[in-house]
Amino acid sequence: MPENKLTRLLITFILLLTTSITFGQGFQISGTVQSAAQQEAIPYVNIGVKKKNIGTATRPDGSFKINLKEENRQDTLTFSAIGYNELSLPVSSILSDHSTHFELTEKTTALREVVISSKASKIKKIGTTSRNPFLYGSAETVHSEDISELGKFINLNNKTSEILSATVYLRSIKLDSATFRINLYKNTAGMPGERLVEKSIIRRLPLTQGWVTVPLEQYGLVVDEDFFLGIEYLPDYSKHEKYIFTYGAALGGSFYSRKASLGDWEKGVGGRLAAYVTVRQ
């Protein structure tokens, strides 16, 4: 082979190798999230790049780490926690300022009083109360800081309702239990939208029983509109399992899910999540 041709091949190979390394490079942002007023750590803050399905959540001590790609340098990192105003910062400014400490301000909301008449009130189960034993889905994470959230549409038929509990079918052959957060989202054009109530409902749930019920009466959740019930798996940084748990389903209808904090919700058809709420109407 002529020397000049061999030289060109070597240069081409080196350029290709350099290009692949450049595209494969990334960086990490880490730090802690605290409340601006109390200067206390805020656990399980959702952190992510909206519309990019990149996200994580803070640990119980308020610390976090998130891995980003070079292409994310021009994006915005958003911090969202129940009871606090969202904080959005350009990734480039976080890097240039070497920021590792992030503070959230408390949200002030005017509570709208909703009253349920004590006369002839009824207890109802709304949602999917049974499941097909041959139909289920699996919650998958790639990294130990990933969340996984399931959504269930709850149709109240415009009746004012007090949410007494939420029930969902969860199983795992790898974990005895895991930490979940119960969220209520507004119905926005048939998809989960903004949070409907600012209540932090975090529970360690067993993954060996199947049907699991979370009591909610103590939170005073009274709503008068249709909403989405969110079952959010919160990461356990001490261990990483690719397939964390399975969830029950029934044939027909739609199901909703997302795999990253502040990520886009996806809608599937052909099955619906085995989950329901018990309400007083």
Q: Say if residue 221's pLDDT is above 90.
A: yes
pLDDT of amino acid 19:
34
User: For 45-103, how does the pLDDT look when each residue is reduced to its tens digit (9 = 90+)?
Assistant: 999 999 898 999 999 999 999 999 999 999 999 999 999 999 999 999 999 999 999 99
All structural domains of the chain with their residue ranges:
24-104, 123-280
> In CATH, which of 3.40.30, 2.60.120, 1.10.357, 2.30.30 is domain 123-280?
2.60.120
Tokens of 72: 């994310």
What gap in Å lies between CA 142 and CA 80, rounded to an integer? 22
Query: How many Cα neighbours within 13 Å face the side chain of 240?
Result: 8
Contact 137, 275 (CB under 8 A): no
Q: Selecting from 2.60.40.1120, 3.30.70.1880, 3.40.50.720, 1.10.10.10, what CATH number does the domain 24-104 have? A: 2.60.40.1120
| pLDDT in the model for residue 115 | 58
Structure tokens at 220: 């005073």
Distance CA 277, CA 28 (A): 39
Residues 109-138, mean pLDDT to the nearest whole number:
79
> Does the pLDDT at position 117 exceed 70?
no
**What is the rounded distance in angstroms from the CA atom of residue 204 to the CA atom of residue 97?**
37
Q: What local confidence, expressed as pLDDT, does residue 10 receive?
A: 38
pLDDT tier at 147, thresholds 50, 70, 90: confident
d(CA 172, CA 280): 31
- The pLDDT value recorded for residue 39 is 95
